[in-house]
């Protein structure tokens, strides 16, 4: 009888620890929440993130030009079971269907996702420079050539 109780307590503690680890992955990404801006020759690019719940953030990337506002992509950052996924949907790519990038690295200042089967990019990362700036980066191979694009961004609205 004591053995069953001990085994039950151990299983409960392991499951609590596992659930806490799940939530901590998304929690480590909370510094993304807010609106970020990158000035480009084509206009100002913004990326906005909101917390939907303890297991999902919702993001949107858009370009503001003289002739209007253009949505570039919508993004979900979702904790599913034992992993975190970055799931962008781009209107004129992948038949408008979402693409899943799995978490490879996460810390208090860097998040890196990967999908080696995607045409481009295969890697998406965010690096926190400080509370008011970050660098988003997409990279991988396109047409046989290694490519990388960086997007330094400044916070315009949100958490610090």
The confidence score (pLDDT) of residue 82 equals 82
Residue 30 Cα distances to 6, 80, 95, 146, angstroms: 36, 17, 30, 30
What's the whole-number mean pLDDT along residues 71-92?
94
The confidence score (pLDDT) of residue 2 equals 59
What's the whole-number mean pLDDT along residues 87-98?
93
User: Residues 6, 11, 12, 17: is their CA dihedral positive or negative?
Assistant: positive
CA–CA distance, 142 with 145 (Å, rounded to integer): 5
Does the structure show a pLDDT above 70 at 135? Answer: yes
Q: What is the rounded average pLDDT for all residues in the chain?
A: 88
pTM surpassing 0.75? yes
DSSP state of 30: G
Does the structure show a pLDDT above 70 at 143? Answer: yes
Identify the burial level of 101 via C-beta atoms within 10 angstroms of its C-beta, where 0-12 means exposed, 13-18 middle and 19 or more buried.
Answer: buried
Q: Where are the domains of the chain?
A: 2-158
Residue bearing tokens 């998304």: 26
CATH fold, domain 2-158, is Lipocalin (2.40.128)
What's the whole-number mean pLDDT along residues 93-104?
95
């Amino acid at each position: 009888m004591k053995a069953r109780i001990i085994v039950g307590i151990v299983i409960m503690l392991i499951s609590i620890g596992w659930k806490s680890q799940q939530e901590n992955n998304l929690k480590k990404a909370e510094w993304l929440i807010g609106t970020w801006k990158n000035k480009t020759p084509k206009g100002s690019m913004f990326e906005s993130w909101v917390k939907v719940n303890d297991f999902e953030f919702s993001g949107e990337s858009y370009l503001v030009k003289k002739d209007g506002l253009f949505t570039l992509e919508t993004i979900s950052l979702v904790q599913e079971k034992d992993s975190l996924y970055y799931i962008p949907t781009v209107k004129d790519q992948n038949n408008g269907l979402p693409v899943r990038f799995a978490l490879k690295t996460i810390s208090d200042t860097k998040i890196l996702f990967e999908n080696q089967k995607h045409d481009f990019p295969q890697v998406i990362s965010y690096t926190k420079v400080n509370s008011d700036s970050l660098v988003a980066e997409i990279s991988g191979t396109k047409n046989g050539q290694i490519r990388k694009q960086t997007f330094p961004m400044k916070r315009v609205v949100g958490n610090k």
